[in-house]
């Protein structure tokens, strides 16, 4: 298990509530204008997408990056930055998930963060802020957010991860529509749900399901505790991940056109292979 604190050593961070990581600067469609505007509103953008538009993200978007998230900038051109996201490990690149973000969504910090926290609920879910001695939590742009202390996780803490706490974070998405590449309060896909749930505890889990299965400690599915990831595979490999809730049940983001909610792993077809893992 990697703590987020170990990867907060970049001077460039995300400066908006959430932004989409695109696989090319030409990937956004006209309908995605709200997601790539100077001050994007991903919640409103996602709410305006029908199922066809959501399916159209499959070959365009890969993940979300959120407020305060560290970014490695590789190159900049025509208002776009080629980046890597170190808090989102991926087999696609050793430095973190690769892709493109609007440069307007980034900011260079004036000084390292001395008491960072990650937000574990609400519209700021997953955001990395700095605790102020005078009170409140400061964003990269200097805005101070007044949050209850129970809604943040200190990144200086070395407490053991609690899978049940990750499940509680995931359940805040109950009833929201599945969103391909989603990994923010605006929406989630299956592996994004797992990534966000553990990120809110200050723990780095790979972004995609196959990478999650590779990185985490295997456990017998029947021994999975509430909050442990459960993986589903067919002849093509792992295609889905959920969080165990006990007794063969799960909580997951199923697929486009469906809502985040309860599922099961003990009733899958014989063509499916089910495995599980634990985040330590």
Write down the pTM of the prediction: 0.96
Residues 31-36: contacts with CB under 8 Å, at least 24 apart: 36/102
* Strand order across the 261-264 sheet: 217-219, 273-278, 229-234, 237-246, 249-252, 261-264
* C-beta of residue 70 within 8 angstroms of C-beta of residue 89: no
163 band by pLDDT with thresholds 50, 70 and 90: very high
pLDDT over 70 at 124, yes or no: yes
Dihedral sign computed on CA atoms, order 218, 219, 220, 221: negative
pLDDT over 80 at 1, yes or no: no
Task: Write the DSSP symbol of residue 177.
Answer: B
Beta-bridge mates of residue 169 = none
280 band by pLDDT with thresholds 50, 70 and 90: confident
Q: pLDDT for 15-28, tens place per residue? A: 999 999 999 999 99
Cβ of 146: how many Cβ atoms within 10 Å?
A: 7
More confident residue, 158 or 85: 85
pLDDT over 70 at 99, yes or no: yes
Residues 130-135: contacts with CB under 8 Å, at least 24 apart: none
Q: Quote the pLDDT of residue 16.
A: 98
**What is d(CA 96, CA 130) in angstroms, rounded to the nearest whole number?**
23
Arithmetic mean of pLDDT over the chain: 96
**What is d(CA 123, CA 100) in angstroms, rounded to the nearest whole number?**
23
Indicate the pairing of strand 229-234 with strand 237-246: antiparallel
With CA atoms as reference, report the closest residue to 196 among 209, 210, 182. 182
Q: Quote the pLDDT of residue 207.
A: 98
With CA atoms as reference, report the closest residue to 97 among 21, 163, 166, 26. 21
Residue 198 belongs to what H/E stretch? helix 190-199
Q: pLDDT for 165-196, tens place per residue? A: 999 999 999 999 999 999 999 999 999 999 99
Task: Write the DSSP symbol of residue 221.
Answer: G
pLDDT over 70 at 103, yes or no: yes
Q: pLDDT for 53-82, tens place per residue? A: 999 999 999 999 999 999 999 999 999 999
Task: Write the DSSP symbol of residue 31.
Answer: G
**What is d(CA 225, CA 221) in angstroms, rounded to the nearest whole number?**
9
Beta-bridge mates of residue 278 = 217
């Amino acid at each position: 298990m990697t703590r987020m604190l170990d990867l907060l050593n970049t001077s460039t961070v995300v400066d908006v509530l959430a932004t989409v990581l695109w696989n090319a600067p030409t990937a956004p469609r006209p309908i995605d204008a709200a997601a790539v505007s100077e001050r994007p509103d991903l919640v409103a953008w996602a709410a305006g997408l029908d199922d066809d538009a959501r399916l159209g993200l499959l070959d365009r978007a890969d993940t979300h990056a959120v407020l305060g998230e560290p970014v490695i900038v590789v190159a900049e051109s025509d208002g776009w930055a080629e980046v890597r996201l170190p808090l989102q490990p991926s087999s696609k690149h050793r430095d973190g998930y690769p892709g493109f973000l609007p440069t307007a969504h980034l900011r260079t910090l004036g000084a390292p963060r001395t008491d960072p926290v990650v937000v574990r609920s609400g519209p700021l879910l997953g955001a990395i802020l700095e605790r102020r001695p005078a009170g409140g939590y400061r964003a990269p742009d200097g805005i101070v957010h007044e949050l209850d202390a129970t809604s943040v996780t200190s990144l200086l803490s070395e407490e053991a991860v609690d899978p049940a706490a990750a499940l509680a974070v995931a359940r805040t998405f109950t009833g929201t529509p599945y969103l391909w590449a989603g990994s923010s309060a605006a929406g989630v896909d299956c592996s994004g749900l797992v990534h966000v749930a553990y990120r809110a505890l200050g723990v780095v889990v790979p972004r995609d399901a196959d990478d999650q299965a590779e990185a985490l400690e295997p456990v017998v599915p029947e021994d999975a505790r509430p909050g442990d990831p459960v993986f589903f595979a067919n002849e093509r490999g792992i295609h889905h991940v959920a969080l165990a809730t006990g007794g063969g049940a799960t909580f997951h983001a199923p697929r486009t056109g469906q809502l985040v909610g309860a599922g099961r792993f003990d009733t899958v077809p014989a063509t499916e292979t089910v495995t599980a893992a634990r985040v330590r």
